[in-house]
Structure 1
């Protein structure tokens, strides 16, 4: 799923998908449990996750807000 959203007055694109297997980032810093949804904002190269697609999107928005501080 692809979603356009506004964060702090800037448009962002979010790509969200459900991960069926354990997802581990190559840096080893973040893990996403199986069955959770992953969200990615390609403009800022930021990702997050949540139990649902909606939660993953909200978590991504929070991460982008922190990035833009």
Structure 2
């Protein structure tokens, strides 16, 4: 059975596309919708894990990622 790993997916709308990013591995993709961008990111991650050797995975894999918000004064 394949090992499962939970990774972070950040999605940002840019003009008429959605860009998806996995910050732990610096792998990105895109799609016309949020759902498509997420599906394309999953595909890119799957292909990476299928083709990369363990040392490449270890070298690219960042530590824990924390997503939060910050409030700053503007203007």
Q: Would the TM-score normalized by the shorter structure come out above 0.5? A: yes
Identify the TM-score tier after normalising by the shorter chain: 0.5 to 0.7
Structure 1: gaps spanning 5 or more residues:
1-7, 21-34
What's the offset of the Cα at 1:17? Answer: 0.9
Structure 2: gaps spanning 5 or more residues:
51-75
Q: Which has the higher helix share?
A: 2
Equivalent positions of 1:15-34 (< 5 A) are 15-20=10-15
* Superposition CA RMSD, Å: 0.9
State which structure, 1 or 2, has the greater radius of gyration over its C-alpha atoms. Answer: 2
Over 6 Å off, 4+ runs:
none
TM-score, structure 2 as length reference: 0.62
For the residues of structure 2 that align with 1:11 and 1:65, how far apart are their CA atoms? 12
Secondary structure in 2 matching 1:10:
coil
Count residues with an aligned counterpart: 48
TM-score, structure 1 as length reference: 0.67
Higher relative contact order (CA 8 A, sep 6+): 1
Equivalent positions of 1:37-56 (< 5 A) are 37-56=18-37
